[in-house]
């Protein structure tokens, strides 16, 4: 069993059997998040898709306080040393392959955005989850689907800074995940899109859970 909990925007907690992962933990200053960073209990890994404040968020605080490993593009983890995080807990990677961290595997994949960006492909307990980060639509999403076959894709749908519902629907078809979950919408006025537009565009092709911040979905 793998449990995904959405904290609004692009912030997720993924509970595997033996590891807890938080991705893009924008919590303390997130107007939609039902929790603050201090409310998190066990955290083993923090994954950050890029260094914009609404994704990097509270990553350094959580990593330090929970003794977690911070995984991101190499340059994004460097400030952690100045914040008192041990070097062995700072995992600066790049786009390439999935790396085995024992309890889970994590790979960084391309994203089309700014902020030293990437998407993340996370595998644990036989389930692969693709967190696209902030991105526009790009053709190599099809390769991500072919290579990693994620069961769940977490796709931005807010538009303005990222894909909107129309683009996310095409991305979903290219990736081919059984479950497609919209994110990065409704936090601020420029991204106040309707996630039901993604569900309507995909019809019965995919499961498209529409969640409220704080809700969980079991895979």
Walk along the chain (219 residues) and give the pLDDT tens digit of each residue. Answer: 999 999 999 999 999 999 999 999 999 999 999 999 999 999 999 999 999 999 999 999 999 999 999 999 999 999 999 999 999 999 999 999 999 999 999 999 999 999 999 999 999 999 999 999 999 999 999 999 999 999 999 999 999 999 999 999 999 999 999 999 999 999 999 999 999 999 999 999 899 999 999 999 999
Those residues whose C-beta lies under 8 Å from the C-beta of residue 208, and which sit 6 or more positions away, are 179, 180, 181, 182, 198, 199, 202
Taking the domains of the chain in order of start, what are their residue ranges? Answer: 3-214
Q: So what's the pLDDT on residue 205?
A: 87
Q: So what's the pLDDT on residue 207?
A: 97
- Measured distance CA(154)–CA(128) in Å, rounded: 11
**CATH number, span 3-214:** 3.60.15.10
Is the pTM here over 0.85, yes or no? yes
- Measured distance CA(176)–CA(118) in Å, rounded: 19
Q: At which residue do the structure tokens 């303390």 appear? A: 28
Q: What are phi and psi of 82, to 5 degrees?
A: -70, -15
Q: Which helix (H) or strand (E) holds 118?
A: none
Q: So what's the pLDDT on residue 80?
A: 97
- Measured distance CA(52)–CA(213) in Å, rounded: 20
Residue 115's nearest CA partner among 132, 102, 134 is 134
Query: Other C-beta atoms within 10 Å of 86: how many?
Result: 12
């Amino acid at each position: 069993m793998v449990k995904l909990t959405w904290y609004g925007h692009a912030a997720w907690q993924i509970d595997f059997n033996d590891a807890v992962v938080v991705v893009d933990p924008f919590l303390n200053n997130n107007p939609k998040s039902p929790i603050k960073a201090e409310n998190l209990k066990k955290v083993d890994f923090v994954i950050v898709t890029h260094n914009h404040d609404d994704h990097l968020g509270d990553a350094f605080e959580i990593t330090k306080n929970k003794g977690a490993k911070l995984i991101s593009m190499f340059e994004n983890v460097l400030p952690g040393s100045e914040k008192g995080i041990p070097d062995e807990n700072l995992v600066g990677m790049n786009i390439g392959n999935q790396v085995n961290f024992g309890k889970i595997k994590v790979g960084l994949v391309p994203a089309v955005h700014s902020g030293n960006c990437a998407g993340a492909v996370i595998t644990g307990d036989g389930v692969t989850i693709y967190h696209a980060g902030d991105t526009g639509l790009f053709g190599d999403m099809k390769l991500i689907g072919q290579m990693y076959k994620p069961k769940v894709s977490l796709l931005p749908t807010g538009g303005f800074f990222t894909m909107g519902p129309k683009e996310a629907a095409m991305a979903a078809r290219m990736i081919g995940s059984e479950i497609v979950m919209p994110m990065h919408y409704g936090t601020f006025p420029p991204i106040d899109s309707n996630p039901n537009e993604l569900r309507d565009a995909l019809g019965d092709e995919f499961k498209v859970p529409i969640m409220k911040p704080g809700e969980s979905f079991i895979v």
